[in-house]
Structure formats: structure tokens, C-alpha cells
Chains A and B, each alone.
Chain A
Amino acid sequence: MINRRKGITLWELGLFTIFLAVAGGASVFFFFLNSSDMKKAQQKFAWVQEINDILDEVVSEISNSVQLEHPFNSSSRECFFRASSDTGNLLPSVFEEGFVFTDNSLTYVSRSPSVASGPKRLGRFANPLITNCRDGKFTRVMPDSLEIYFRADSPDGSGTTREFVRVVHLRNQ
């Protein structure tokens, strides 16, 4: 009988191989996570998410407006509405708030008899709300439904264009 030394068993060899494969795969994967491609993708995602956060605010502002005044039946680059006041009573129709696509940006404006079109702040977002956006329009698709559409260019200059479409249910129409 051959007196063998206590060696490595078969399952230990398998385990070692698995660990080696996992370690190799993990190092490749972490290099990929650190790569510039991944950073670009993360920046693009953050940009899209920022625009969507702003659009959430815009949609909630328009959908809770007391009366939508401007795009009555077709599409327009402007949207004006009578906002509800903090006390709940309706302001006179000369006080209007709105969103305007001008100079490749989306701006929140208010108009009153004294001030023509004063820039205003929307929540935590400052004017202009969105920059580098083209073909922006508000379309009244139904009496109680408005569609916001625009195309935005990525700020990193890579030429990436993304379409944003939002449907707003006008709850008070």
C-alpha cells in the first residue's frame, strides 16, 4: 500500500478554481465600473433624472392649476394658467403663471398687470428650468389633457439627444 501524503482533495480544488474565477471576474467587473464609459452613462442617467424631476414639478403645477388659459385647442410654445393661491381663493384672471419654451430653454414665468413676464422660481429649481431643449411644445390633446414634448441635448457635448413626453391630466377642467 502506497502511503500518500495528506494532499488537497478534489472538492478543495474545485473551490479554489471557483474562487479564482470569481476573483478574476470581479477584478474585470470593477475595472469596468471605474471606466469612463460607465462614468459617462452615470452622468447621462443623472441628467435624465434631473430633467424628469423638474418635469414632475411642472406636471404637478399644471395639473393642479385652477384653469388652463392658453393652449386652448392646438399646440403652442407657451402654456399659461391661473394658479391656486395659498388661501384657496381664485385670483383675478390678470394674474397668470406659465411655462414658456424660449431660447432653447424652459422658463417659469408669471404675468400680472404691473410686471410683464417676471422670471420666477419653481420650488427648488431656478430659472431657466431646463436648458438645451429644442422643439418644445404644449399640445392640448383632450379638453382635460395636455401633452408636453421637447427634445433635450446632453450637456456634455456628445451630441446625445433625448425626447421627453409628458401627459398631464388637468384635474380641474
Chain B
Amino acid sequence: MPETAPRSMFEKLLYLGIATFFLWPFVQLWSVKALPLFESDGHLRASVALENLMESALSRPFERSYTSGFEPVKGCEDLDLMGRIEVLVHPDFPASVLVRAQVRWGMFPLVKSLNLECLKARTRP
């Protein structure tokens, strides 16, 4: 006689039910994005810093190509927020330039970044 008999289908369904019962709250948390993984306040500050970076990039004198390295964003040193501006010729429309602002923060395996792009024409309407 074997030491243990295999579990029946009913018992396996019972295990599945118990597992669902325990894990369902976490599924719900995931669906409402309320997991503390998403650091909401830092995210909000980073998005505002990104908008400010984009506005200052748009205020710069016109250039067809410009790339800055990642520099610390003023006022967000506690987040270690780094921002970068890129200006490049649009690959499809050579008369326009693409302005891209990028911020990133967080430690290496959990680096978060936000990007914002804007198309800028040389002539104003």
C-alpha cells in the first residue's frame, strides 16, 4: 500500500478555492493600483518636475540638436530626481524638431522614469 494516496479532484478544487480566498484581496489591490509599490507622492512630484523641464526646454533658443546629460532637478534632491532634455530632428518631418524631456528616480533595480515629447516647428503661426 502506498504511503499516501493521491488527492481527489474535489480536494484539489478545495485547495484552489482556499488559495483564491487568500490571494483575492491582493488581486483587488492590484486592480485599483493601491499597492504601496507605486509611490504616489513621488510620482506626482516627478510628473510636475517633468512638466517644468519640458517648459524650460521649450523656452530655450531654437536648436536643431541638443542633448544634455542627466542632471539633478532642483528642489527634488530628496527623491534623487535626475532630468534630461533632448532636442533632435524629427525622423519623419525634417522641418520640425522633437523635444523630449525625461526624468528618472529610484535605485537600480527599481528605477522609474517618465518621458514627455513635444513637436516644435521652426516658424510660429
Contact = CB atoms under 8 A, between A and B. Distances in A.
B25 A49 contact: no
A52 B58 contact: no
Interface stretch (A3-11, A64-72, A98-106, A124-132): A3-11
A45 B59 contact: no
Interface string A100-144: 000000000000000000000000000000000000000000101
Interface in B2-45: 3-5, 15, 18-19, 22-23, 25-26, 34, 40-41, 44
Interface residues on B, range: 20 to 34
Interface stretch (B48-56, B88-96, B109-117): B48-56
A75 B55 CA distance: 18
Contacts of A169: 55-56, 58-59
A166 interface: yes
B69 interface: no
Interface string A1-41: 00110110100000100010011001000100100000001
Given A4-B3, A7-B4, A30-B25, A48 B59 contact: no
Contact of B22 (A19, A52, A165, A167): A19
A145 interface: yes
A9 B56 contact: no
